[in-house]
Amino acid sequence: MLTAGGKSSKLEGKPVQAIDRRISVAPMMDWTDRHCRYFLRQFSPTLLLYTEMINAAAILRGDRSRLLHFSAPEQPLAIQLGGSDPGQLAQAARIAEDLGHMEVNLNCGCPSDRVHAGAFGACLMNTPAVVAECVAAMKRAVRVPVTVKMRIGVVDRSRAGSTAAATDAAQRFDDADMADLLAFVQAIVAAGADALIVHARKAVLGGLSPHENRTVPPLRYDVVSQLKTMLPGVPVIVNGGLRTTETVVRALGTYDGVMIGREAYHRPELLGELHVALHAGNSTRAVDPAQVLEAMRAYASREVAQGTHLRAITRHMLGLLSGRPGARTRRQVLSRNAQQGGSVDEVITAAMAIAEIAA
Ligand SMILES: Cc1cc2nc3c(=O)[nH]c(=O)nc-3n(C[C@H](O)[C@H](O)[C@H](O)COP(=O)(O)O)c2cc1C
């Protein structure tokens, strides 16, 4: 297969592995780095993990090994790219595929001003033709699936006139909004998008902070389920506000998958609970936090020996046993001891002692 840059893909002749998209962890900037992903993987061998958004241009001009490095146990792993230049995205997608990423996802949902200024992220929902070109270019470049993560719509503060008017428009979803949404998804599906990941709320561009854009516009699962009905045959993954095993399992009755963001980070045991719920027939047992800590001890020892700061790993583990007795003390142990230069053994052993008390 001839692709971007004219070279043939390393996957040529090899079958592309099918992906189980039922449960995935959302791309989260500064959170889902490789250490976080390794940690989350301990809770389920099957869930699909996503990288943080990585700027396609940075991959082409920057330090690829730092931006794209991951370890084999993180698989199945998808990369999320940010960008709006079809050629750059195609090249970056090719590089990611060659390194073993199992899916390439395009960010059309991030509302941050920095991303907006770079003309990518959620503002791309205003330009379906550009996104279609990007998807088509990436599809030509790689064999792994190309997916799009999006909102149900965007409201531009500058067009709405004020932040208040924009926020007000973000509360509504009318026929015109549905027409815009359909035009967008039809364009990208026609360009070859293999799945849509839909954050079930609008984004406000230029008015709300990224945090507010994840809380203020209301969740409209009804819109995503309508989309699912209108697009038979197109995998639709729902995202936004799903926090319990019951709601996720129920959502799987409607959608092809559920993407979980903040709750997976703050309460990773949810991922273990879901693994048990979905694989009950295989006598799967809930993950033992002590086993997770033991796996992380081995991982952290290897990483620290190669120069990683222990705190870069333990900062992602603070959600372990969240809500159970001892969680607060263990958070302090993981965070303070790692910061104060404790060894891997000291830090993890202290955290394990607390985990045992909690058990
Ligand atoms: C700290 C943080 C960083 C995020 N970074 C990204 C990102 O890089 N790319 C992206 O598509 N979404 C990003 N998001 C949005 C999440 O992927 C997800 O869509 C959102 O949190 C809603 O899902 P949730 O309610 O399950 O958290 C981020 C969210 C958070 C909390």
- The CATH number assigned to the domain holding 323 equals 1.20.120.1460
Do 148 and 78 meet the contact criterion of CB atoms below 8 Å apart?
Answer: no
Q: Which domain holds residue 226?
A: 19-282
pLDDT of residue 357: 54
Strands (E), the chain: 23-25, 48-55, 77-82, 103-108, 146-151, 154-156, 195-199, 203-205, 236-239, 257-260
Phi and psi angles of residue 19, each rounded to the nearest 5 degrees, phi first: -110, 130
pLDDT for 242-259, tens place per residue? 999 999 999 999 999 999
Mean pLDDT, consecutive 10-residue stretches, the chain (359 aa), reads 45 77 97 97 96 96 88 97 96 96 96 77 94 98 98 93 92 96 98 98 92 95 97 96 97 98 96 91 75 92 92 88 73 73 78 62
- Give the binding-site residues of ligand 1, using a 6 Å CB cut-off: 26-31, 52-53, 80, 107, 109-110, 149, 199, 214, 239-242, 260-263
Report how far apart, in Å, the C-alpha atoms of 355 and of each of 316, 325, 349 are. 16, 9, 10
State the closest ligand 1 atom to the C-alpha of 211, by its place in the atom list counted from 1.
31
In this structure, the answer to whether residues 216 and 322 fall within a common structural domain is: no
> To 10 degrees, the CA torsion angle through 25, 31, 37, 40?
-70
Cα 144 to Cα 104: distance, rounded to the nearest angstrom: 7
Same domain, 44 and 158: yes
Q: Whose CA is nearest to atom 14 of ligand 1?
A: 28
| Closest residue by CA, ligand 1 atom 22 | 240
| 108 given a catalytic annotation | no
How many Å lie between the centroid of ligand 1 and the Cα of residue 261?
Answer: 6
Q: Kindly report the pTM of this predicted structure.
A: 0.92
**Which is the closest atom of ligand 1 to the Cα of 243?**
26
Q: What is the pLDDT of residues 198-255, one digit of tens each?
A: 999 999 998 899 999 999 999 999 999 999 999 999 999 999 999 999 999 999 999 9
The protein residue whose alpha carbon is closest to atom 19 in ligand 1 is 199
Q: What is the pLDDT of residues 270-305, one digit of tens each?
A: 999 999 999 876 666 778 888 999 999 999 999 999
For residue 6, the model assigns a pLDDT of 40
Look up the CATH number of the domain holding residue 107: 3.20.20.70
109: nearest Cα among 195, 227, 248, 214 = 214
Are residues 183 and 206 located together in one domain of the fold?
yes
Taking CA atoms only, the protein residue closest to ligand 1 atom 18 is 261
d(CA 303, CA 263): 26
The residue whose CB lies within 8 Å of the most ligand 1 atoms, and thus the one to mutate among 262, 271, 316, is: 262
Q: Are residues 62 and 199 in the same domain?
A: yes
- Residues 121 and 145 placed together within one structural domain of the fold: yes
